[in-house]
């Protein structure tokens, strides 16, 4: 890390970053880059905790060895970044490997961690600085520079998280918690573009519930809603990988995009979901009713665009309904 005189020479980088007109993620990126340059630090990033129920954090902006890194997630367990979530700045001036062996093995010597607080006072994220040399004056120089950024960064982080919350609300089915049509369309194109670039497998599976209108007409919409939420849970239990996109795109219509998944494997998982749904009856007064579904699939090697994939998956779905077996994909 830079010595005190070097840090002073790099003050223009520090000041320009602090006064940047950018906002949200763009400001966080500017601030991280400014801190990395001002301190000549090996790694600088800003992250937020995903939820109070998990120790996972999401890094939104990062510089390592002078290069920007793409956003990534990691667990706080046995990491020095866990400490700032107690609300206090953290300094490890040297020999970080004594407390956190994995960081020592990665070549780091020192660490600065500063909590980022929401307007309510709760800790919503942190700034982290790792370096391969020891801190200046036991960290007082680094801590002063980082804390100068912390208030503005906390505001921009909170703004970003509020924006993401609103976006998720707009993209999510309130009944099931799955993506809605809007959210599905935006995210599915990303997965398809990625599969096209990498040449990897991708399969789209279309589902709908059998005799759903009959259930609504006979037992009422409240029972129909319970079937919908039950089916959504079954799909989520089967298609639960980070490469799976699960959406409710209509009343009883669902779509899954399974990236890095062959059509054969996607059909196997769809059948597993169907069986799980049939084994989860819904109570209706003194009796129970069981639902079932039909599905059809199309793979990326059969169609290259989202619209074509959905059309082919729908065609296979209706073919399976016409055959009255409710579970064939071809």
- Are 150 and 185 found together in one domain? no
In a domain, 244, yes or no: yes
In terms of domains, do 303 and 192 share one? yes
Q: What is the pLDDT of residue 91?
A: 92
71: domain CATH number is 3.30.450.40
pTM of the model: 0.62
Query: 98 by DSSP, 3-state: which?
Result: helix
Does residue 197 lie within any of the structural domains?
A: yes
Is 86 assigned a catalytic role?
no
What pLDDT does 100 receive?
94
Among 116, 135, 168, the domain-final residue is 168
What is the pLDDT at residue 18?
67
Distance, CA of 209 to CA of 184 (rounded, Å): 19
162 and 218 both lie in a single domain: no
Residues 11 and 87 in one domain: yes
204 within domain boundaries: yes
Q: Are residues 214 and 239 in the same domain?
A: yes
**How many other CB atoms are there within 10 angstroms of residue 306's CB atom?**
18
Q: Give 220-235 as a DSSP string.
A: -HHHHHHHHHHHHHHH
CB 114 within 8 A of CB 89: yes
Please tell me the predicted confidence (pLDDT) of residue 7: 52
Kindly state whether residues 219 and 80 are assigned to the same domain.
no
Domain extent, residue 22, equals 4-168
Domain boundary, last residue among 168, 191, 209: 168
* CA 138 – CA 141 distance, rounded (Å): 8
Separation of alpha carbons 34 and 305, rounded Å: 41
In this structure, the answer to whether residues 164 and 279 fall within a common structural domain is no
Residue of 252, 301, 314, 330 marked catalytic: 252
To the nearest 10 degrees (0 to 180), the angle between helices 212-219 and 221-238 is 140
Based on the domain organization, do 16 and 124 belong to the same domain? yes
The rounded average pLDDT for each run of 10 residues, N- to C-terminus, in the chain (330 residues) is 53 63 88 89 94 88 94 91 92 93 93 94 94 80 83 93 85 92 90 88 95 91 93 95 92 95 95 95 87 92 82 93 57
Same domain? For 221 and 297 the reply is yes
Instruction: Kindly state whether residues 23 and 119 are assigned to the same domain.
Output: yes
109 and 235 co-located in one domain: no
Residues 271 and 126 in one domain: no
List C-alpha distances in Å: 266 to 285, 312, 328.
36, 15, 12
Domain-located, residue 174: no
Torsion of CA 165, 170, 173, 174, to 10 degrees: 60
Residue 176 lies in a domain: no
Q: Say what the pLDDT of residue 328 is.
A: 45
Count of domains observed in the chain: 2
pLDDT at 329: 43
């Amino acid at each position: 890390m830079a010595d005190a005189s070097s840090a002073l020479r790099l003050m223009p980088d520090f000041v320009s970053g602090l006064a940047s007109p950018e906002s949200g993620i763009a400001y966080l990126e500017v601030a991280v880059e400014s801190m990395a340059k001002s301190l000549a630090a090996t790694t600088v990033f800003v992250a937020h905790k995903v939820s109070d129920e998990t120790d996972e954090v999401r890094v939104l902006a990062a510089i390592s060895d002078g290069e920007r890194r793409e956003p990534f997630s990691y667990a706080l367990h046995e990491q020095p970044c866990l400490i700032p979530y107690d609300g206090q700045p953290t300094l490890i001036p040297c020999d970080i490997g004594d407390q956190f062996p994995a960081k020592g093995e990665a070549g780091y010597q020192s660490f600065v961690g500063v909590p980022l607080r929401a307007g309510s006072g709760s800790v919503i994220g942190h700034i982290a600085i790792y370096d391969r040399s020891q801190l200046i004056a036991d960290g007082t120089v680094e801590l002063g520079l980082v804390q100068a950024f912390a208030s503005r960064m906390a505001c921009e982080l909170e703004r970003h998280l509020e924006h993401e919350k609103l976006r998720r609300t707009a993209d999510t089915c309130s009944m099931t918690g799955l993506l809605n049509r809007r959210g599905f369309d935006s995210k599915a194109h990303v997965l398809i573009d990625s599969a096209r670039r990498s040449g990897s497998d991708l399969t789209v599976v279309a589902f709908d519930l059998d005799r759903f209108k009959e259930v609504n007409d006979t037992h009422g919409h409240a029972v129909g809603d319970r079937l919908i939420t039950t089916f959504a849970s079954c799909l989520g239990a089967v298609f639960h990988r980070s490469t799976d996109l699960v959406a409710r795109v209509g009343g009883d219509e669902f779509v899954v995009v399974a990236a890095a998944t062959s059509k054969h494997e996607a059909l196997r998982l769809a059948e597993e979901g169907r069986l799980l749904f049939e084994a989860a009856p819904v109570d209706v007064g003194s009796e129970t009713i069981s639902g079932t579904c039909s599905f059809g699939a199309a793979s990326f090697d059969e169609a290259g665009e989202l619209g074509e994939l959905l059309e082919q998956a729908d065609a296979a779905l209706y073919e399976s309904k016409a055959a009255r077996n409710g579970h064939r994909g071809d």
